[in-house]
């Protein structure tokens, strides 16, 4: 009888709900928005559990099951296919983390989405740089990124061979590129503090070193090695190019097979004209080889400067007439007059050993005598320009040539006159011998003799002047040789 009453009670409850068009299990008042409401404080809803092979052949859209095999989980039929609810990855609205962190274990040490669209990994964002960073990686909306670490903390991210990009926070070093099989180029042993190495099998072992390219190595502090198998094995040594070597302190090797040869403080530059190496021979030496010469320009249009031609042994100044203007004719006699007053001799620089001597004039005297023309200034009072000195000597030589030509003309004229006087003297003497008035002839002969003596004296004077001119020319030639030697 009791069971019968219970069945009647259930039917009455369902009847009451059905009158309203709704159903409730565990409640007499299902929610108005629900067709079916199940209420329980300690029970759940158990969806039908079926195997993959037992899925309904013609399911209704929206039908839900729990699949027990293959890829277990809740599935629903979307009208065309069964969909695993847990595989859904597309958001239908923006995901709001509400300033919180996405983490593995629920702590703050995870991934944080920044307000401007960036991402911070491990910890909270702080734009300042410090020795105790609050994040490991930050990606900004501008496209940049920041990776932080603590100096002296942690281990190297990876060792051995392989391609990778890594930041070693313990040493503040960076690597990008590849390491060959069996190579330890990027291991802790060859990882200097604050060093940088990129490329293939590069080594930046010294602190604050840089190694870029193919199998380049910078082994000592502050060194730089770049290019193809270039080597920097000295403090602050630099080797850039193809097989260049700077294996001593403060040395620089550039170009193709340039080597300082173990010499300190050297700079060496080499071209690709040959397969041999160019080596330094002394400490603190500059060496360079460029088989097709050198060019140095001192203006932006490359019209002023010097060059050293292939196989040449002296610098040549640009002297093309098409690149010159405002020509001014010199006063040759003025230049010759100043020449004799110049203090030209041997001397040594005050900073040199007294036994190291030089020949030449003083810049102050040259500038005082020849430092200005009608239009401007030539040179300076502390230095000598070899091209200008050549010009001064050419003007003097031209003046000497003019003097010599004038003296030669006068000498020839006097010689001709003397020959005529001697002829007249000879004729007069013949007349005396033939009975002419001796007294009158004697007076004529005496006058001619005086003229001959005077002309002879002039010739002697001209000869002396010519000799002096030759001496001046010799001095100019010697000075020119000194200037050439100084230029070398």
Asked if residue 353 belongs to a domain, the reply is yes
For 348, the token pair is 């040594």
Residue 275 and residue 409 in one domain: no
Q: What is the pLDDT of residue 12?
A: 46
Asked if residue 339 belongs to a domain, the reply is yes
CA distances from 48 to 73, 184, 439 (A): 12, 60, 173
Q: What is the pLDDT of residue 5?
A: 45
pLDDT at residue 90 greater than cutoff 70: no
* 168-183 average pLDDT score: 94
* 208-221 average pLDDT score: 98
Residue 301 and residue 443 in one domain: no
Residue 239 and residue 306 in one domain: no
Residue 303 and residue 334 in one domain: no
pLDDT at residue 20 greater than cutoff 70: no
Asked if residue 209 belongs to a domain, the reply is yes
Calculate the average pLDDT of the chain: 82
Residue 15 and residue 79 in one domain: yes
* pLDDT, tens digit (0-9, with 9 covering 90-100), for 30-62: 888 888 889 999 988 898 999 999 999 899 999
* 169-184 average pLDDT score: 94
Residue 49 and residue 61 in one domain: yes
* pLDDT, tens digit (0-9, with 9 covering 90-100), for 354-375: 999 998 899 999 999 999 999 9
Asked if residue 173 belongs to a domain, the reply is yes
| pLDDT-derived band at 106, boundaries 50, 70, 90 | low
Asked if residue 435 belongs to a domain, the reply is yes
Residue 214 and residue 247 in one domain: yes
CATH number at residue 251: 2.150.10.10
For 484, the token pair is 């050439």
Asked if residue 131 belongs to a domain, the reply is no
From the centroid of its chain, how far is CA 327?
Answer: 41
Place of tokens 């002309």: 455
pLDDT at residue 88 greater than cutoff 70: no
Asked if residue 152 belongs to a domain, the reply is no
Q: What is the pLDDT of residue 433?
A: 63
* Higher pLDDT pick, 82 / 122: 82
pTM of the model: 0.61
Residue 262 and residue 309 in one domain: no
Domain closes at, from 29, 56, 86: 86
* pLDDT, tens digit (0-9, with 9 covering 90-100), for 119-150: 666 554 444 434 444 556 666 666 677 777 78
Domain closes at, from 86, 120, 153: 86
| Residues in CB range of 316: below 8 A, 6 or more apart | 306, 307, 308, 309
Q: Any bridge partners for residue 258, and if so which? A: 278
* pLDDT, tens digit (0-9, with 9 covering 90-100), for 188-203: 999 999 999 999 999 9
* pLDDT, tens digit (0-9, with 9 covering 90-100), for 430-463: 666 665 555 665 666 666 667 667 767 777 776 7
Asked if residue 82 belongs to a domain, the reply is yes
For 293, the token pair is 């010469």
Q: Which of 366, 358, 360 is nearest to 395 (CA)?
A: 366
Residue 357 and residue 371 in one domain: yes
Number of domains in the chain: 4
From the centroid of its chain, how far is CA 385?
Answer: 31
Residue 337 and residue 467 in one domain: yes
Residue 298 and residue 271 in one domain: no
Give the domain range for residue 343: 330-488
What share of the chain has pLDDT > 70, as a percent? Answer: 73
Domain closes at, from 309, 325, 341: 325
Phi, psi of 395 (to 5 degrees): -65, -45
* pLDDT, tens digit (0-9, with 9 covering 90-100), for 306-342: 999 999 888 888 888 888 899 999 998 898 888 888 8
Pairing relation of β-strands 137-139 and 145-147? antiparallel
* Higher pLDDT pick, 179 / 431: 179
Residue 480 and residue 334 in one domain: yes
Q: What is the pLDDT of residue 124?
A: 45
| Residues in CB range of 172: below 8 A, 6 or more apart | 149, 151, 193, 194
């Amino acid at each position: 009888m009791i069971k019968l009453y219970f069945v009647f009670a259930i039917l009455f409850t369902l009847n009451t709900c059905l009158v309203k068009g709704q159903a409730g299990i565990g409640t007499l008042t299902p929610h108005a928005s629900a067709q079916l409401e199940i209420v329980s404080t300690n029970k759940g809803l158990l969806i039908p559990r079926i195997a993959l092979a037992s899925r309904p052949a013609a399911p209704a859209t929206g039908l839900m099951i729990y699949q027990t095999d293959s890829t277990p989980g809740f599935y629903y039929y979307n009208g065309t296919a069964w969909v695993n609810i847990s595989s859904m990855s597309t958001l239908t609205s923006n995901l709001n983390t509400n300033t919180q962190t996405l983490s593995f274990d629920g702590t703050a040490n995870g991934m944080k989405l920044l307000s401007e669209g960036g991402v911070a990994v491990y910890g909270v964002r702080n734009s300042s740089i410090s020795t105790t960073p609050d994040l490991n990686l930050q990606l900004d909306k501008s496209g940049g990124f920041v990776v932080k670490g603590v100096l002296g903390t942690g281990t190297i991210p990876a060792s051995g061979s392989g391609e990778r990009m890594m930041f070693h926070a313990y040493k503040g070093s960076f690597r990008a590129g590849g390491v060959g099989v069996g190579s330890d180029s990027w291991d802790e042993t060859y990882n200097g503090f604050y060093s940088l190495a990129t490329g293939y099998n590069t080594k930046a072992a010294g602190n604050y070193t840089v190694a870029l390219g193919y199998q380049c190595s910078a082994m000592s502090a502050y060194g730089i090695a770049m290019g193809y198998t270039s080597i920097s094995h000295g403090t602050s040594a630099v080797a850039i190019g193809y097989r260049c070597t700077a294996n001593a302190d403060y040395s620089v090797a550039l170009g193709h097979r340039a080597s300082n040869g173990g010499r300190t403080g050297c700079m060496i530059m080499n071209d690709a004209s040959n397969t041999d190496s160019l080596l330094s021979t002394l400490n603190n030496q500059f060496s360079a080889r460029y088989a097709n010469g050198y060019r140095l320009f001192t203006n932006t249009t490359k019209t002023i400067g010097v060059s050293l031609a292939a196989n040449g042994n002296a610098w040549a100044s640009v002297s093309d007439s098409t690149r010159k203007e405002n020509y001014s004719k010199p006063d040759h006699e003025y230049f010759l007059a100043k020449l004799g007053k110049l203090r030209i001799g041997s001397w040594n620089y005050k900073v040199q050993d007294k036994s190291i001597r030089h020949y030449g004039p003083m810049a102050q005297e040259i500038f005082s005598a020849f430092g200005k023309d009608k239009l401007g200034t030539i040179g300076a009072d502390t230095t000598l320009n070899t091209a200008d000195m050549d010009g001064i000597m050419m003007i003097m030589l031209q003046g000497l040539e003019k003097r010599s030509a004038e003296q030669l003309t006068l000498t020839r004229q006097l010689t001709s006159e003397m020959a005529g006087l001697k002829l007249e003297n000879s004729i007069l003497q013949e007349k005396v011998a033939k009975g002419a008035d001796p007294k009158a002839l004697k007076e004529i002969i005496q006058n001619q003799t005086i003229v001959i003596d005077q002309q002879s004296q002039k010739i002697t004077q001209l000869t002396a002047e010519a000799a002096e001119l030759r001496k001046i020319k010799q001095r100019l030639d010697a000075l020119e040789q000194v200037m050439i030697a100084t230029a070398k």
